[in-house]
Amino acid sequence: MSIKTKPISEVAAKWSEVTPGRSRYYEAGVRNPREDWGSQTQASGPIYQQAVQAGDIGRRYSGGVRRAGTQKWQRKAIEVGIPRFGPGVIAAKGDFEAGFAPMLETIAAVTLPARAPRGSEQNLERVRAVTTALAAKRLALRAAGG
């Protein structure tokens, strides 16, 4: 005997009507989680490594992208992303400043080699000086957990 269910349209309608009113439960869970997000996420490193090294990970990833499709991505980016973009940037100002400051300080500390005539291969050394310094800083920050 099969399980009797409601039509998906009814289930989806109820979910979309009732769930937005439950934001206080979401807030309570964020403010007082059962487990600490940071320590739990750090502890999951070996599991993450196993997951991304699975033999069929490329097929799974591609299948998920194919299943969602460009139309869903674009629809959600327009309907949800655009209205949240400005407020999200404003809310992230402090995080941006803290995250980008070490890189900006690194750029400011680079001594560039002399400029050569336009099109000269020597000018690439100017680019190399900046990219080398930024790569070293990025690795140093990651090693320090920053």
Instruction: Indicate if the pLDDT at residue 146 is higher than 70.
Output: no
Average pLDDT rounded to a whole number, residues 101-128: 95
Measured distance CA(132)–CA(146) in Å, rounded: 19
Which residues lie below 8 Å from residue 126, measured CB to CB, with a gap of 6+? 112, 113, 115
Each residue's pLDDT tens digit, 39-79: 999 999 999 999 999 989 999 999 999 999 999 999 999 99
Q: What is the DSSP letter of 78?
A: I
Which residues lie below 8 Å from residue 129, measured CB to CB, with a gap of 6+? 110, 111, 112, 113
Q: Identify the band that residue 143 occupies on the pLDDT scale cut at 50, 70 and 90.
A: confident
pLDDT value of position 30: 93
| CB-based contact 130:108 (threshold 8 Å) | no
pLDDT value of position 9: 93
Measured distance CA(12)–CA(22) in Å, rounded: 16
Q: Identify the band that residue 114 occupies on the pLDDT scale cut at 50, 70 and 90.
A: very high
Instruction: Indicate if the pLDDT at residue 90 is higher than 70.
Output: yes
| CB-based contact 129:115 (threshold 8 Å) | no
What's at 14, amino acid-wise? K
pLDDT value of position 145: 66
Q: pLDDT exceeding 90 applies to what percent of the chain?
A: 87
